Homo-oligomer: A and B are copies of this chain.
Amino acid sequence: MKDFTWLNPTMVIFGEGKVPQIADRLAAMGAKSVLLVYGGKSIFKNGVYTQVTEALTKKGIAFPELGGVKSNPTIDKVREGVARVKAVMVDAIVPIGGGSVFDTAKAIAAGAFYDGDVWELFEGKASELKRALPLFGVLTASATSSEVNNISVISNPEKSLKISFNSPFIYPRVSIIDPTMQFSLPEAQTVNGGIDVIVHAMERIFVGDTGTELMDELGYALIRSMIKIIPELRKDPRNYAARAQYAWAASLAHNGSLSCGRGEKGDFSSHKLGHSLSLLFNVPHGASLSVMTPAWAQYLYRDHPAPFARFADAVFGVEAEDEESTALEGIKLLEGFFRSLGAPTTLRELKIGEADIERLAQNAAQVAPFGTLKSLEAEDIIEIYKLAY
Q: Which residues of A contact B (CB under 8 A)?
A: 1-16, 18, 179, 211-214, 217-218, 220-222, 224-225, 228-229, 240-241, 244-245, 248-249, 257, 260-261
Q: How far is the CB of A68 from chain B (nearest CB, A)?
A: 31
Q: Is the CB of B12 within 8 A of A6?
A: yes
Q: Is the CB of B211 within 8 A of A245?
A: yes
Q: Is the CB of B214 within 8 A of A225?
A: yes
From B4, B11, B214, B245, contact of A14 by CB (8 A): B4
For A8, list chain B residues within 8 Å (CB).
8
Q: Is the CB of B217 within 8 A of A1?
A: no
Nearest 5 CB-CB pairings of A with B: A3-B15, A211-B241, A1-B244, A217-B221, A7-B11
For A9, list chain B residues within 8 Å (CB).
7, 9
Q: Is the CB of A245 within 8 A of B213?
A: yes
Q: Tell me the complex Cα distance, A225–B218, Å.
A: 9
For A214, list chain B residues within 8 Å (CB).
221-222, 225, 229, 245, 248-249
| Total identical chains | 2
For A248, list chain B residues within 8 Å (CB).
1, 214, 260-261
Q: Tell me the complex Cα distance, A313–B244, Å.
A: 25
Q: Is the CB of B12 within 8 A of A244?
A: no
For A4, list chain B residues within 8 Å (CB).
12, 14-15
For A224, list chain B residues within 8 Å (CB).
217
Q: Tell me the complex Cα distance, A179–B260, Å.
A: 14
Known contacts A2-B15, A4-B14, A4-B15: does B213 contact A225 (CB below 8 Å)?
yes
Q: Is the CB of A14 within 8 A of B221?
A: no
Q: Tell me the complex Cα distance, A15–B16, Å.
A: 40
Q: Tell me the complex Cα distance, A249–B217, Å.
A: 11
Q: Tell me the complex Cα distance, A213–B16, Å.
A: 19
Q: Tell me the complex Cα distance, A213–B8, Å.
A: 24
Q: Tell me the complex Cα distance, A325–B234, Å.
A: 35
Q: Is the CB of A212 within 8 A of B245?
A: yes
Q: How far is the CB of A102 from chain B (nearest CB, A)?
A: 17
Q: Tell me the complex Cα distance, A10–B249, Å.
A: 22
For A222, list chain B residues within 8 Å (CB).
214, 217-218
For A228, list chain B residues within 8 Å (CB).
213
Most B Cβ at <10 Å: residue of A1, A11, A220, A260: A1
For A16, list chain B residues within 8 Å (CB).
3
Sample of 4 further A-B pairs with CB below 8 A, known A4-B12, A7-B10, A213-B225? A214-B225, A217-B221, A217-B222, A248-B260
What are 25 pairs between A and B in contact, CB < 8 Å? A1-B14, A1-B15, A1-B240, A1-B241, A1-B248, A2-B15, A3-B14, A3-B16, A4-B12, A6-B11, A6-B12, A7-B12, A14-B261, A211-B241, A211-B244, A212-B245, A213-B245, A214-B221, A214-B225, A214-B245, A214-B249, A217-B224, A217-B225, A245-B261, A248-B261
Nearest residue, chain B, Cβ from A251: B6
Q: Is the CB of A240 within 8 A of B225?
A: no
